Amino acid sequence: MLGSFRKFSSSLFAKIFLFIVAIPFVFWGMGGVFSGADAYEKIRAGASAVQIYTALIYEGPGLVKRVKQELAELLERDEINSVKDVIGIDS
Ligand SMILES: Cc1cc2nc3c(=O)[nH]c(=O)nc-3n(C[C@H](O)[C@H](O)[C@H](O)COP(=O)(O)O)c2cc1C
Residue 42, number of CB atoms within 10 A of its CB: 22
- Kindly report, residue by residue over 7-19, the tens digit of the pLDDT: 777 877 777 776 6
Tell whether the model's pLDDT for residue 82 goes beyond 80: yes
> How many angstroms is it from 54 CA to the middle of ligand 1?
7
Question: Which is higher by pLDDT, 25 or 38?
Answer: 38
Indicate yes or no: pTM above 0.85. Answer: no
Backbone angles phi, psi at 24, to 5 degrees: -75, 130
Q: Which atom of ligand 1 is nearest to the CA of 55?
A: 26
| Atom of ligand 1 minimally distant from the CA of 32 | 25
Residues in a beta bridge with 51: 30
**Confidence at residue 65, expressed as pLDDT on a 0 to 100 scale:** 96
Q: How confident is the model at residue 51 (pLDDT cuts 50, 70, 90)?
A: very high
Residue 54 beta carbon below 6 angstroms from any ligand 1 atom: yes
Average pLDDT, the chain: 88
Q: What confidence tier does 30 reach under pLDDT thresholds 50, 70, 90?
A: confident
| Ligand 1 mutation pick, 28, 53, 54, max ligand atoms within 8 A of CB | 53
Whether the CB-CB separation of 34 and 66 falls below 8 Å is answered with no
